Amino acid sequence: MAENTLTITDNRTNKTYTVPVENGTIRAMDLRQIKTGPEDFGLMTYDPAFLNTASCKSSITFIDGDKGILRYRGYPIEVLAEHSTFLEVAYLLLFGELPTEKELKQWVYDITHHTMLHETTKKFMEGFRYSAHPMSMFVSTIAALSSVYPEAKNVHDAANRMHQIVRLIGKVPSIAAMSYRHNVGFPYVYPDNDLSYTENFMNMLWKMVEPKYAAQPAIARALDILFILHADHEQNCSTSAMRSVGSSQTDPYLAVASAASALAGPLHGGANEEVLKMLDEIGSKDKVWDYVKRAKEGHIKLMGFGHRIYKNYDPRAKIIKWSAEQVFQVTGRNPKLDIALELERIALEDEYFVKRKLYPNVDFYSGIMYQAMGFRPEMFTVLFAIPRTAGWLSQWQEMLTDPEQKIARPRQVYTGHDVRQFVPIEKRTAVTV
Ligand code: SDX
């Protein structure tokens, strides 16, 4: 019997089937031959929330959740955080290799010269209430760019695709900054091409009346590291949305808007904002234990804890914790850090969390750091979406160029009524639904 196969005996029919095992998986379609008779559709797999289903092959990001390993195109996240810049990492994710000096210079030039937004974006932004959540503005404005670049629909034209990718990576900081400035009622700040990607983002956020914005170097570097850490994370919820929506061959602006919408959820990228609310609710170190008790009783979740893949410490959380200390040397220590450290200490010792392998994830410390940098909690998920746009676009491009991929259309297990007779309204009785 060939070694890379699985032999399945269907006890309903006593028939035996042999299916190939490839990359630790069997193809779900190989199960369709398993039938109880000619009328039988054949076996499917049932996997709510895709806990154990690979939806694609990818060479972009590798995660070993048990060992706490994260690599972009084979490079450990710790090495990239220490030696690279976000734009260099975005190039790596998209093209598969670290750029040469010449390639990086051209890449930075291209992105830098696509940070401007069409002036109509201002009118669009003005339509939002001042209190509008920045993620709502971010998602809507990215979707609106679909109307500015109708040629983006030509998703199979590689040059056109790359042009849109460069536009999106260049413009997401501008949209994010405009959302913030709209929230606080400040005039928008135009990009400054003399500045790096991250320094320019800070410029568009925080420049006031000074002639030239000067970014605080430690803050700029810390933010760039945060962008590197958040750039991609294989098939997470928002990337799955990007791939699924993109599989209909819609344009990348609408696909990124759908991915950012998924990221906004409190169980995903919205968790960093929820962590700050949680730490505010706890209020002080001595109240941490009571809060942990409520989590153990199942009444609440510890935001920033747990992960579908990491059953060990999220390697990004370690780097963020280190980077936060660098920021606090400039900004002063965020008092919420003491509550977070106490929460982590208790949770890492407590059987409830140890048994469930719940460790701090990327969102646990990032919010404390963002707040110390001067960001409001409402901006935290936008700060996640900016770098993740490069990851979403890398995954989108890989999906489009994968000959095995086609429009995503899962099946279901139908549990509803069998065929029923229509009941005229006068004969219907109220049913409690
Ligand atoms: C991100 O997928 C990615 O890669 C995402 C991400 C990325 O880079 O894209 O890493 C970014 O989204 C990080 C996660 C941010 N979310 C949060 O911090 C929200 C709090 N965490 C949980 O909601 C939860 O841990 C998830 C959503 C992250 C993971 O959920 P799972 O894998 O579906 O796990 P589960 O809900 O089935 O939990 C298993 C058990 C349950 O207890 P029992 O039913 O077995 O008794 O652990 C418990 C859960 O109740 N549990 C928690 C908990 N997370 C899980 N209990 C308390 N606090 C928590 N945070």
Is there a single domain that holds both residue 136 and residue 247? yes
pLDDT tens for the chain, 433 residues: list them: 668 999 999 999 999 999 999 999 999 999 999 999 999 999 999 999 999 999 999 999 999 999 999 999 999 999 999 999 999 999 999 999 999 999 999 999 999 999 999 999 999 999 999 999 999 999 999 999 999 999 999 999 999 999 999 999 999 999 999 999 999 999 999 999 999 999 999 999 999 999 999 999 999 999 999 999 999 999 999 999 999 999 999 999 999 999 999 999 999 999 999 999 999 999 999 999 999 999 999 999 999 999 999 988 899 999 999 999 999 999 999 889 999 999 999 988 999 999 999 999 999 999 999 999 999 999 999 999 999 999 999 999 999 999 999 999 999 999 999 999 999 999 999 988 7
CB of 278 closer than 6 angstroms to any ligand 1 atom: no
Element (H, E) at 89: helix 86-95
Task: Just list the catalytic residues.
Answer: 268, 307, 363
Token pair recorded at residue 157: 């034209």
Is residue 28 domain-resident? no
Is there a single domain that holds both residue 354 and residue 390? no
- Which distant-in-sequence residues (6+ apart) come within 8 Å of 426 by Cβ? none
Is residue 417 domain-resident? no
Structural domains in the chain (count): 2
Give this prediction's pTM.
Answer: 0.95
Domain that holds residue 287: 271-373
Distance, CA 192 to ligand 1 centroid (Å)?
A: 40
Q: Are 155 and 399 in contact (CB under 8 A)?
A: no
Is there a single domain that holds both residue 229 and residue 84? yes
Among 66, 276, 361, 368, which residue has the most ligand 1 atoms within 8 Å of its CB, making it the best to mutate?
Answer: 361
Give the position of tokens 């400054």.
Answer: 192
Distance CA(54)–CA(35), nearest Å, equals 23
Distance CA(92)–CA(96), nearest Å, equals 5
Residue 65: Cβ-neighbour burial (10 angstroms; 0-12, 13-18, 19+): middle
Is there a single domain that holds both residue 302 and residue 218? no
**How far, in whole angstroms, is CA 91 from its chain's centroid?**
18
Distance CA(363)–CA(162), nearest Å, equals 30
Is there a single domain that holds both residue 337 and residue 354? yes
Distance, CA 44 to ligand 1 centroid (Å)?
A: 27
Quick one: which of 235, 222, 240 has its CA closest to 366? 222
Q: Which CATH number characterizes residue 255's domain?
A: 1.10.580.10
Is there a single domain that holds both residue 389 and residue 365? no
Question: Which neighbouring-strand residues pair with 17?
Answer: 8
CB of 356 closer than 6 angstroms to any ligand 1 atom: yes
Q: What are the angstrom distances between the C-alpha of 261 and each of 197, 237, 241, 248, 287? A: 24, 10, 9, 17, 34
Is there a single domain that holds both residue 343 and residue 302? yes
